[in-house]
Structure 1
Amino acid sequence: MKRKINYYLLILPLLALFASCSRDVFDEYYARPDYLEDPIYQRLEELGNYKNFTALIEKAGYKDILSKSGYWTMFAPNDAAFTAYFQENGISSVSQIDEATASKIVRYALVYNAFREDQLSDYQSAQGWVKDNAFRRRTAYYDGYQNKIVNGTPMVVVDANRNGGYAFADNNNKYVTYFTDEYFTAKTLSSFDFNYFYPDKEYTGFNLFDGGVQQADIIAENGIIHEVDKVSLPPLSIGKYLEEDNAKGVNSKYSKFYKMLEEHLVTYVFNETVTTSYKNFTGKSDNVFIKFYNSGLSFSPNSENYLKEADNDGQSDAFTMIAPDNAAMEPFVRDILLKHFTMDNLPLYVFQDFFNAHMVKNAVWPSKAASYDNGLGEDLRFDFNTNIIDKKILSNGFFYGSNVVQKSNLFYSVYTSAYLDPAFTLATRLYNSTEIKQMISNIRNKFVLFLPSDTLLRSLGYNYDINSSQWVYTSPTTGLSVSGGAASSRLYRILYNSIVATPNGELDDIFTSSGIIRTGDLDFPGEYIKWDHGKLYAAGNEVAGTVVNIVGDGDVQQNGVTYYIDNLLGFTDRPQGLEIKELAEIPGSQFSSFFNYLKNSTLYNATTGAIQGVSLGTSYTFLVPDNAAIARAKLAGVLPASDNPSLQGDKDKVADFISYHILVNATASDDGLVTGLFETLRKDSFGEKTYVRVESTNSPRTLSFKDATTDSSIGGNNPAANYIKASSNNLADRSLIHLIDNYLTLPKIQ
């Protein structure tokens, strides 16, 4: 019988031989290269001067992690650093450092991703590396769950990790701050900026907080080591720094600032998802609350993530808070914040504004403090040489303690008189919805504010309907109502004409003098009003025969005075022709000759008093030649002999004459504010605009008008027309009416 041969048995040894050879090739190809450095933990052991730190790594449970592959930057404190740490903390060896502290030191020394020294100054943006634009990196340390007593109740709390929000996958990791020559050079900073925070330390060109980097770029298999000569514990966040200061009791510097922030702009919100995670992690059954700061603040003082508009934006910037100490807060709260309010009924927006005035969404380097704006858009009004009493670089930004409160526009201006008084909420509401707030709250510009109370506004028909979110005006005489834009426009016009720019103290003698003055600011002029020994008149008051009285001595602020008034500075919607008519009807009036031509002209509507081409609500200046000037104009043939001519040519001549004496889009007075060439109502035969030159001075008070024929270089001989002060500056709808001592000659077509 033939035996059957099993060929598979013959092949198996060969396969085993080949497999053995293949495995050797595979292992050789993928084996760890001989030139590769050991992982971070082993490298620290090899180097020999990190015995204390490696002991802490083991105690913190990070030996295994740092002995494997990875991608880390380790700011490793050497043994000399620990010798100093032991002395500072009254211990003798690393064995006396507990596990929790060991974990803090190790995890805070550990930065995600490996960075050489020359990379640490660069910002990892979404678009790529931005050179020399970073001074911070995210570490492996975070606070996590915290046990607190909140209003007497024990709570488990986690901090918000966004400004006004919370992201569940984010542990709110703390950042480490370092100082490099590359970053300082790019930002034009210097050792001054380092020594401002650390006056007794040396800036070396590469510092981790106040420690120096002794050796950089020590390569390891799983990252890069930078040797430092200082042990760094995780700094507090800005919010925690204030909290711990408050816990000092009588020794607290900022407890008044902290308590106002905590009691009015902080909420603790139960979160089921975070609670479930906590229970799974700890096995405990406590509910977990997220600590939120009000979303109206510039930033959350407990968020470690900067703005998070980009994932790594915390590398390139940080927050800044400047906190007034208790000595500064006490008089501010007493004399300004609570002058008319109690702390319980102070509006929420006031708290938001106050803290935003002391918050900056940037890291404020001391040498460049003047270049930053606070959360209200104001420059920082602190002297960093004399006002800053405390300087800290914390985990999420810079903290400065101050011996003064920010001289904020909102709390030291005439706007403050309305803003911080519940009797003036209607005026404040309108200010806040327009440019008026920004204008009158600028403490660098001087103003006088005439402020009507809510009671006064409501008595005269103005109110705000909360339910429909719109303004309402009901006429006290007719009972007719308008709402929305029509009502708010009326009130805006009144309140705008209750504001006077006074750069040179123009109304300092308001109770002992009289005069006329333009309202609004220099860029956006209002209308003119008059004052007479503490009494005020606008055009509407003169028409109605009413007066506005100043009540009391006024509220002196940083940028002027607020005067409280018992009536509104009203406007008129009467056509200006009626105002000229009234002036002409005064016995012996010098306006009469001009008006006789006007009333018979093609421009005048005898029924309404309207002048053709003149629109209500637009600025004008009316120049009325006196009777003698009109007589000279007739003799010169500039006007027809009759003030009621029948020929069309003479009618046209009268219309041209009147139109040339009306300036458009400008209200000129004897205050020096309006000078130069200004358009008139008249157009020439080609439809082109014609102009009159206005010359005005404030000291002495002069006002004159020149037509083209006053220019001697082209043979002109018509003298300038000067205003007659005693009969000028008559108020009308957005207009002034002046009596002048000459007429203006129409320019000849060349």
Structure 2
Amino acid sequence: MGKSLQAFFLLVTSCLLLVNCRKKQWEEFYERPGSLEPPIYQQLEANGNFKQLLSCIDKAGYKNTLSAAGFWTLFAPNDSAFNNDPEFKTFLKSRNISDISAIDPVTAQMIVQYLLVYNAFEKDRLDDFQSVTGWVENSAFKRRTAYYTGFYSDTTLAGQPVKAIASNRNNTTGTNYYVTSDNNNKYIPFFTSDYFSAKGLSSGDYNYFYPTSTYTGFNVGNAKVIQQDIAAENGVIHFIDRVVTPQPSIDQYIKTKPEFSEFKKLFDQFMVQFVLNNDASRRYQVLTGSSDNVMVKVYNTLLAFSPNNENHLKLQDNDGQREGWTMFAPQNDTLMSYINRVLLENYPSVSSLPLPVIADLLNAHMWQSTVWPSKFSSTYNYLGETAQLNNQSNIIDKKILSNGFFYGTNKINEPNVFSTVYGKAYLNPNYSIMTRLLNYELRDVITNPNARFTIFMIPDSVLAKQGYSYNVAGSEWRFVNPANGVLSINDSNRINLIRILNSGIIETPQNELNNLGTPGFSGIIGSFGSEYIRFDGNQIITAGTKDRGLTVTFNPSQIKTAKNGKVVYLNNLLFFSYATIAKHLEILGTPTTSEYNLFWNYLKNSTSMYDAANSIITGTVAGSFYTLFIPNNAAVRQAITDGLLPGTAAAPNFTPTGTAEKVMVEKFLQYHILDKKSVIADRRDEGAFNSLLKNSAGDAVPITIAYPGGTFELTDVFGRKARLVNSQSNQLSNRTVIHLLDNYLKYY
């Protein structure tokens, strides 16, 4: 029994010793290291020069936060900054605070939270972007702060007061504009020499926004960092010489600027909705005890960005570190003068303007990226255009805000969709169908301000008279045949209209049609659809208008000028031809006095080259382009004399019976047809081009086009030359031009 008790006491003693040893080891392992720097709060306290900041921290309720474990970056203004910074005093005055000592807890919280950045960053890492794949050096100039606006009071367009919260995402789908778990935290900007060097920026880009500050290569807002990289137990401190106060978002800032109220009104009237959000409402009701619902202020999907979104595109969680929005806002009189002069030329009021027009006007002033003052001409807006503004004479207000840059302007950044020839249709409701057709393929082409065009306009009324219409509700292209009243609804109607439209889109890099409408000014020119039109005074001729016996004219006094060309208002459509090439050649060649007569007779009698039942030249395909080079009668007789065609010069044999003679005719005809290419004498096509003729190896036999002395000239494979008989050339056909030559082309 005694031994048992002795063993028991020995066991208990051993256990106590083991526990005490382990407790000591535990405490030693987890004890705060003696070498660890004090927390942020205690360091500021020990320094002695941050009494005002500490007072704000206390009022804001952040003493415990900055005294405990954490991972923060604090930009800390010293007492001198609080006492002497004129911009800080202006900030206090805007909040009706007369003295530093009178700063209330709400204002103190704003100040502290905006100076407090999530995660600890020394200067060398601060300007590196935290991407999903790792650090990207020298590509960031902002960091997310602890400050956010949260719930606020707003007013709808109808004047109804609402409790609101800002969108925290761009509205790209109509539903993805708000994420409940995201507070839409604001960003604080900083400016380092490494970042500026990487982006090609200079001190001028900084001082443009902060003219009373000195750029040092490490600035935060309007402040300079006077001591950096102070390590703390719970983060890093950078001492600054001014109090950087919370900046509004673009959405918040423009509300306070009455000189840009008309620009803001366009957003309010056309691009903003307040949408009830149940999650936000519940959170607000729990926090405040109120029964009010909360509305999210939502911007339209047509816009480049939502001006109240602090998160940038959010393609990555931290993309707001390296980019922000940019808005150029024209002042009221500038904007209204432009709207009245340009946008309302054909509309009765702003409210009657189509929504896309409003969106284009706004987006011309909105960038999804940061436009630095020195980069106006190299940074592209949502429409793919640069700022057509002078950063000195055209900017009347400039501000780096929490989610981007803001520039107030005395000039419109006019979009190309308004200023170019495209705008003459786009901004006129009487040309809605033409605009819709242009948007398929040609909008990006004819809005290029560096190209030049002449556009023949197609009004809705003329289209309607010819049976064409568009049903918006059903997205249907309709055609009622004027001859029989039969309705067709199919995409071929759209395709036909695009072909008509293309015939009236003329690229004129040398202002080739500047004298259009002048008596005696005539010629031929190629269109965007690779077809050709002819002009003579105030008349425009296509193959289709000639087929129909139409005289399509315009009033020269009504021609209008745009940034990149002219627009001409016609009285009818530029119809294309449904006839075959052979049918047009038949019309030209049937008269016995015609210079096309002999060639036509050889063609129409060649069973291998001509399908008489369908009036088709063998080897040609509907929808392809061709050029017919027709030797005149004298040249054809010479070809007969030279043994290239059957018969005699006095008596051509159009109906040979021998195989060899038939082949002669076939080769002769084929070699005078340029395959898949329409050509006129405009110097745009030079070199060798394939004919329909094939050699023994099956390769196309070429014809060479050149301009010796500026004159159009053809050369065959034997080096023989032929030129156009200009007075009888340029005959229009179905995607084809027919020319008369003064010589024949020798085949082999």
TM bracket (short chain): over 0.9
For residues 285-324 of structure 1, the aligned pairs below 5 Å read 285-324=291-330
Contact 2:201 2:374 (C-alpha < 8 Å) held by counterparts? yes
Deviates most, 135-144 or 395-404:
395-404
Question: Which residue pairs with 2:77 in the alignment?
Answer: 77
CA contact (8 A) 2:527 2:533 kept: no
Corresponding position of 2:413: 406
**Preserved CA contact (<8 Å) 1:238 1:399:** yes
Once residues 394 and 38 of structure 1 are traced to their aligned partners in structure 2, the CA distance between those partners, rounded to angstroms, is 33
Does the CA contact (< 8 Å) of 1:370 and 1:380 recur in 2?
yes
Query: Alignment partner for residue 376 of structure 1, among 383, 407, 410?
Result: 383
Question: How far off is 1:370 after superposition?
Answer: 1.9
Call closer, same or farther: CA 1:576–1:36 in 2, change over 3 Å.
same
Q: Which of 505, 508, 511 is the aligned partner of 1:499?
A: 505
Instruction: Specify the code of the residue in structure 1 equivalent to 2:712.
Output: L
Deviation at 1:12, TM superposition (A): 4.9
Task: Tell me how far 1:115 sits from its aligned partner.
Answer: 0.5
Between 1:335-344 and 1:92-101, the stretch displaced more is 92-101
1:579 and 2:584 correspond: yes
1:450-599 equivalences under 5 Å are: 450-512=456-518, 513-521=520-528, 525-551=529-555, 553-586=558-591, 588-599=593-604
Residue in structure 2 matched with residue 338 of structure 1 by the alignment: 344
Deviation string 1:407-430 (CA, Å, 9 cap, x unpaired) is 311110111111111111111111
- Structure 2 distance, partners of 1:455, 1:94, is 70
Give the RMSD, CA atoms, in angstroms: 2.0
Instruction: Quote the Cα distance in structure 1 between the aligned partners of 2:691 and 2:521.
Output: 30
1:258 is displaced (CA, Å) by: 0.8
Deviations 1:638-670 (A, max 9, x none): 111112211111111111101100111221112
Look up the SS of the partner of 1:214 in the other structure. strand
The alpha carbon displacement at 1:357 in A equals 1.2
Residue 149 of structure 2 aligns with an amino acid whose one-letter code is D
Give distance in 1, aligned partners of 2:31 and 2:478.
Answer: 83
Out of 254, 260, 267, the residue aligned to residue 273 of structure 2 is 267
For the residue of structure 1 that corresponds to 2:274, the secondary structure is strand
Please identify, of 551-560 and 646-655, the stretch whose mean Cα deviation from structure 2 is larger.
551-560
* Residue number in structure 2 paired with 1:631: 637
* Distance change in 2, residues 1:2/1:55 (3 Å): closer
Name the structure 2 match of 1:656.
Answer: 667
Contact 1:424 1:453 in 2 (8 A): yes
- Within 5 Å, which residues of 2 pair with 1:135-146? 135-146=141-152
- Output one character per residue of 1:415-470: Cα deviation in whole Å (capped at 9) or x when no partner: 111111111111111111x2211112222211111111112112212222334323
Aligned pairs for 1:154-233 (under 5 A) are: 154-164=161-171, 165-233=177-245
Distance in 2, Cα, partners of 1:573 & 1:616: 10
* Distance in 1 (alpha carbons) for counterparts of 2:161 and 2:7: 79
Partners in 2 of 1:527 and 1:10 — Cα distance?
A: 111
In the TM superposition, what whole-angstrom CA distance separates every residue of 1:202-260 from its partner, at most 9, and x where no partner exists? 11010001210011111110000010111011111111111111xxxxxx221111101
On the 8 A contact 2:522/2:537 being kept in 1, the answer is no
Query: What is the CA distance between 1:53 and its match in structure 2?
Result: 0.2
Residues in 2 aligned to 1:257 and 1:520: alpha-carbon distance in whole angstroms: 40
Task: Please tell me whether the aligned partners of residues 268 and 290 of structure 1 are also in contact (alpha carbons under 8 angstroms).
Answer: yes
The one-letter amino acid of 2:734's match is: D
Percent identity of paired positions between Structure 1 and Structure 2: 41
Query: Quick one: which amino acid aligns to residue 234 of structure 2?
Result: N
Measure how far apart 1:605 and its partner are: 2.0
Q: Is the 8 A contact 1:669 1:696 kept in 2?
A: no
Residue 535 of structure 1 and its aligned partner are, at CA, apart by 1.4
Unmatched 5+ stretches in structure 2: 172-176, 648-652
Query: What residue number does 1:428 align with?
Result: 435
- Is 1:364 aligned with 2:371? yes
Q: Distance in 1 between matches of 2:219 and 2:139?
A: 16
Alpha-carbon spacing, 1:37–1:74, altered in 2? closer, same or farther (3 Å): same
SS in 2 for 1:253: helix
| Deviation per residue, 1:14-44 (Å, 9 max, x gap) | 6445433432332222111111111111111
- Whether 1:706 and 2:715 are equivalent positions in the alignment is yes
Matched-pair contact (CA < 8 Å) for 2:601–2:654:
yes
The alpha-carbon deviation at position 504 of structure 1 amounts to 1.8
Give the structure 2 partner of residue 676 of structure 1.
687
* 8 Å contact kept, 1:667–1:674: no
Match of 2:426 among 419, 425, 449: 419
- Distance in 1 separating the partners of 2:411 and 2:211: 22
The residue type equivalent to 2:596 in the other structure is F
Shift of residue 369 of structure 1? 2.3
Cα distance in structure 1, aligned partners of 2:449 and 2:560: 15
SS of 1:680 mapped into structure 2: strand
2:742 maps to which residue?
741
- Other structure's SS at 2:531 match: strand
Q: TM-score, normalised by structure 2?
A: 0.94
Which of the residues 111, 116, 119 maps onto 2:125? 119
**Partners of 1:56 and 1:94 within 8 A in 2:** no
Check whether the contact 2:524–2:730 (CA below 8 A) recurs between aligned residues: no
Distance 1:483 1:514, change over 3 A: farther
Q: Provide the secondary structure at the position in 2 that maps to 1:55.
A: helix
391-400 or 443-452, which deviates more: 443-452
Rounded to whole Å, the distance in 2 between the matches of 1:8 and 1:44 is: 57
Match of 2:650 in 1: none
1:74·1:110 contact (CA, 8 Å) conserved in 2? yes
> Aligned with 1:43: secondary structure?
helix
Offset at 1:7?
Answer: 6.9
Structure-2 residue corresponding to 1:32: 32
In the alignment, is the contact (CA less than 8 A) between 1:148 and 1:154 conserved in 2?
Answer: yes
Q: In 1, distance between residues paired with 2:4 and 2:339?
A: 107
Q: Does the aligned pair in 1 maintain the 2:263–2:331 contact within 8 Å?
A: yes
Q: 2:123 and 2:219 mapped to 1: Cα distance?
A: 11
Question: Residue 429 of structure 1: SS of its match in structure 2?
Answer: helix
Instruction: Report the Cα offset of residue 478 of structure 1.
Output: 4.3
Distance 1:254 1:110 in 2: 32
Q: Distance in 2 between matches of 1:2 and 1:217?
A: 68
User: Which residue identity does 1:223 align to in structure 2?
Assistant: G
Deviation of the 1:327 alpha carbon:
2.8
**Partner residue, 2:174:** none
| Secondary structure at 1:742 match in 2 | coil
Structure 2 equivalent of residue 257 of structure 1: 263
C-alpha separation in 1, matches of 2:527 and 2:238: 62
CA distance in 1, matches of 2:125, 2:442: 49
Contact 2:361-2:414 at 8 Å conserved across structures: no
TM-score after normalising by structure 1: 0.94
The alpha-carbon deviation at position 92 of structure 1 amounts to 7.4
1:3-152 → structure 2 map (5 Å cutoff) = 12=12, 15-85=15-85, 88=90, 89=92, 93-150=99-156, 151-152=158-159
CA deviation after TM superposition for structure 1 residue 101, in Å: 1.2
